[in-house]
Structure 1
């Protein structure tokens, strides 16, 4: 598995981890949102129940007050002294003020010191009075009373004579306090207001009443609204419902924390636990991912780095050079070896030898250019990829490396020499694959080892072909001898005086499998070097004797 595959796996696992985290976050968000919706639904349900109860009690109180005022109106129709009757009514009832208006729009008050003309009344009051003269009773809230200067409820009922004709209108005002008492009994905490959607009269208030009221005055309320408002960073539910008086509403504001504290605490606890769980899962996923990256990094180092020197491993080197070659650029492949390194191990010890190899890599790495690579294959076998292809420049750089290594290893009391082979891939020559380049550089290294002193050998195609031919000869000579592929040909010797054949010279020819022949000049020199000539000589002598015997037998 190469580094690209490892990186792809890491990226794939990273994407999977991110998707898992996003999925967990989405599920957590949905769960929290569902929990908040459930809490809000429970809050709205409770608030609507409480405000419905409050509306019912207000309606009941309103009906009671109207019934009482109608009863007073009946008694007033039979009274001749209106002033005395009004004063008696105000003493015996909880109304804050009682007044009577006759058909001429004259107004009588229980308190004789109060004098109000019809024209001084508000338009709303006048319209209600006109309706009462038509036989319609009503109750409405006024923002201010001329006497008390506060919000009051005004009741108006018609007064009939014995003939069922409307002779006047009886009016009474009442403070909101009785209603406030009823409302306090109907709701649990929070802020309750009587409002015409512009002004607000608070019935029950909590510690945040000023802040709540400031928020309410800053928003556009509408009829029968259920919604949320933010007060000091906390969400509050708001319910607006018709009160039963024309143009007036009940506005109820309360928080889930106050209204459904156990459910609120449980919901928030669940949210916190869930968020902690999400954070823990994310941390665990991150730790797992980092451990995987670390393990892959360690595996990469084991697979792609030499554990002793830190140089690139041969496996990684082959991948990098192959990628480099695909870019169709010129480069040189260098094979570096040491003479007598195995004796260094024996003389200096394993630790010293390992230290020497590390110093070699350090010295060479410091002299490499961008994109150049050093690889340690095994023991003292090193490979280099260099950008230069000019033989003089490559040789100069390698000798400089040798010099630096020697300067950095003066404390090693051991004489050593380098063997170095170089193969270059350049434009005006045939492009080689990495495998071919590796074969070429090993061939050049072998030539360097044959030299008696430290030498850099460059791969030469002609020399290589010659060596290949020598290898072919040496690999097949014994088999050819055993198979009698060496054939004897006779070169006649003539007597020039008699012009007759007096003898023959026995010559050798090597017949190949394809029927062609190799001349002696192509293999005799090789046989002389490897001492195979003696075998061939005796073989040819035997062939010559057999030929002579055959001729004798033929007479």
Structure 2
């Protein structure tokens, strides 16, 4: 039924729309002017502080890089007693972990043999060195690490720096010095990043004398300028201010004029040697990279609002036309003149695919990758033209029965094809044709399209078929090349399975469906159980086991792993209480904790509460943290480690070697145990096995010297055990000894070996006055040696029997997460 439309009301409404549009344009113009003034004021008042913050961040980065290279050299010096040791260290550590181009060993008589990363050896002497290097080597001979002032090397052909660290004999006396050469170009990338983030910013590194030894992007300061004070564009007063700034311990800002334009010079001390990071930037708002963006934004707002106003007026006038026009607007997309989504579903439902068994149709959901970015680059007008080109190409394809434009960049097509190969080829052909014409008629910006395909079935509604195509499309939404994905029932069921896991995880935790499994850690010196790693299995009420591989990645994404980790810590504490209640000396329990939980506020208090709940000595608990946590922020991680150790807990670094492994990680963390990744023992190539054994030998020796207990997982063969004994490794874990088993089976096999049945679990009795967790950790908890600490416990624990032959048949290997 067509409703009556009053022409008088339309005219009145039209006048109101026109008046509102004019007033809005005036207000928008005032807003644009006010925005410009406010932004200009804010920029001029905050530019200095924002720039200082950015420079400070990069200054810290450069300082950490220099300090990290110095720590790396000190670590190398621990393994070097003569020049021949350098080549051995290269082989053991790997050249990728050594930041120096050349490493030299300087004897006290001034002689030296230098070895490059490529293995080339050269001899040198103290007397032939530049004065900058002599000063640094002399300091190292006196027992102090030092870095030379930058100097030009004719051999390398660029400015270089030399780090020098003392080499101590067994007696503690200095027996020589170890030097490492780094090219100044290694600092250029950091400076270039600072320039790229802050467009129009000149950056450089210099010494207190003003000598420039590293540069970023320089458009103002000539690249051949050796000393900052030599830049002729600086006036005498500016040069005096620069000299004073290079003597200051705090950042200095200097305003100057170059070619009648205002610039800001900033000199910031790095706090490392006598280095400064310097910048030169425009001090005029109209020259800033924000000015043009603000103007484009303001103009875009005016243009868009003007277009919207005229479109509103046009639509209002069109309301006086016939019902046909209203119907056209209701059923067709105004940009592409294609069906809209509701019209498409209406026409879809009228097709005979439900009654005609010979019908051959497929539905395609087609999208453009990063369409929002394309909109920002091209603007509204060109984006609409892009969509119209796609609609035009679809109209011209005989295979396309009908289509609609839906939600920005989405097109839904119905093809007269059903063979998967033919559909795939046709959809890709459509993608190529659309991209080719867009690049010719609109813009050369790269266009990438992706699509999902679902076939029609009589028992499925149009909405369900489109939903299947959308689901298939989501599987390739992150592809950066043209991609076509067909609906896969198995993939759908997998997503549904993950959804069901996420839906039931909290009830499972409440119902204690997550079970504690244990895998023994064997003391290689005695062959007895020293500790056990706590692992989790999800066993539902129907006795179906869900392994960590199926739910841990999901829990790490949605954050539920934090609750599960605390739950497992509680279960481990309860088991230690159980041992104590039955007069048995507990073994050590290793519990993995995720990154999300370790850095969670109040984490330490939560562990303290659980320990107090069970009133147990915390010395029996070992918290395992993954190696990749240490690669982000060692200082922050150490702070958390110290908090945990204040409770009396021990800390283990898990899966060492699986990610970014370096000596700095071990040297920089206050840990009690290091657990080497299973990959060290799983290699099959003889040459790789030899390399892995060499690395394990060196790392084990380093851990011993640092007083860190060593564990190797993935032990599956007797030859693995013999090798680990030969390098004096402390503990071994793997299927050679036992697979992860339920806690009751573990106790029966390893703990209560002299009893026919294991004792029942007693109800938890809350202590009248529970001791503080920190107080409960006796001083000997940290001082005990691995073998001595478990001497009494091991006396009642039988030697572990190898079970590697059938372990892998029962359940999959543990993930590196340790769950």
Give the TM-score taking structure 2 as reference length. Answer: 0.29
Give the TM-score taking structure 1 as reference length. Answer: 0.41
Bigger Rg, which one: 1
> Higher relative contact order by CA 8 Å / sep ≥ 6: 1 or 2?
1
